[in-house]
Amino acid sequence: MASNDEILLLLGQAGFTNELVNLTNKHRACQCLIVHLVLKTTVEELQQLREGLESISLLQFLQICHNCIRFVFPSVDDITLKASDVLSLIDKDWLCNLSGVQETVMKWFSDYVTELDQNNGQTGNIECIKLVHLFNFFSLAVLHHQLSPDSSGVKQVVFFCGLDTSHANVQGQESVLSDLPTLGQLVQFIAGHPYLPSTSLRITFSSSSRVVFPDADSCFYGLQLPLSHGTYQNFRKAMNTAITCQYQGYGRG
């Protein structure tokens, strides 16, 4: 009943009133909902944004100085990132009393950021992440024991998706996911957006030797690096895979 009440309330807000939904008018009801959710609700949000801009006279300023709009609302194409910009944001207070392994991994991360900068935005084939790539990421996590194959639901998902977690298929899966991302995609992976945050980045390290991939906490601009890799190349592959699959969207892999 609760769900039916919610639907009726939403239909009422969309202007579909005084009639019940049936096979004859169901398409019209859907159209009313779409117009309400996509257009009317968005208009209200834009109006609130307009009022906020007017409250600080920013809207009036932008109406006079059109050339300043791209500085206030920069597009992704207007963003220029450098390795030094990213590395300078790292909070050094979180990097005190590091162990030898942690210092090595931190050095690898600095080298990785520099490599992304030197790559000049050549993203390979990761501009469009396909669903199969996410499945491959999942199967790699199972294979590397970051997810337990015996955990609840994992076996069923692997079977349902038809994932191949055998060692014979690892190289093929990793080659799909090993393209080097851009520096902007790394920032988006950490911060949730491709813009440099105004606060510092917090680097921590995984406490488990079984963790293979980095884990970003975009709400607090944090990045947890794995300590399980013996070489920079393995660390690099794990970074590439995680960023390729998760620099857009929500949730953890």
Pairwise CA distance, residues 201 & 233, whole Å: 24
Q: Are 121 and 182 in contact (CB under 8 A)?
A: yes
| pLDDT above 70 for 133 | no
The CA-atom distances, in angstroms, between 222 and each of 149, 162, 179, 192, 199 are: 28, 34, 23, 11, 11
Q: Mean pLDDT throughout 4-19?
A: 83
Pairwise CA distance, residues 109 & 115, whole Å: 10
| pLDDT above 80 for 137 | no
Q: Mean pLDDT throughout 64-78?
A: 80
Q: What mean pLDDT, rounded, does the chain reach?
A: 78
Pairwise CA distance, residues 30 & 38, whole Å: 12
- The pLDDT, as a whole number, for residue 113 is 96
**137's tokens:** 């990421």
> Is the pTM here over 0.75, yes or no?
no
**102's tokens:** 């942690």
pLDDT band at 249 (very low <50, low <70, confident <90, very high): low
Strands 202-205 and 222-225: parallel
Strands 215-217 and 202-205: unpaired
Pairwise CA distance, residues 18 & 182, whole Å: 54
Q: Are 140 and 170 in contact (CB under 8 A)?
A: yes
pLDDT band at 60 (very low <50, low <70, confident <90, very high): confident
What is the spatial order of strands in the sheet that 215-217 belongs to? Answer: 202-205, 222-225, 215-217
Q: What is the pLDDT of residues 12-25, one digit of tens each?
A: 888 888 888 888 88
The CA radius of gyration of the chain, in Å to the nearest whole number, is: 24
Closest C-alpha among 214, 132, 144, 142 to residue 173: 132
DSSP, residue by residue, 164-193 = --SGGGHHHHHHHH-----HHHHHHHHHSS
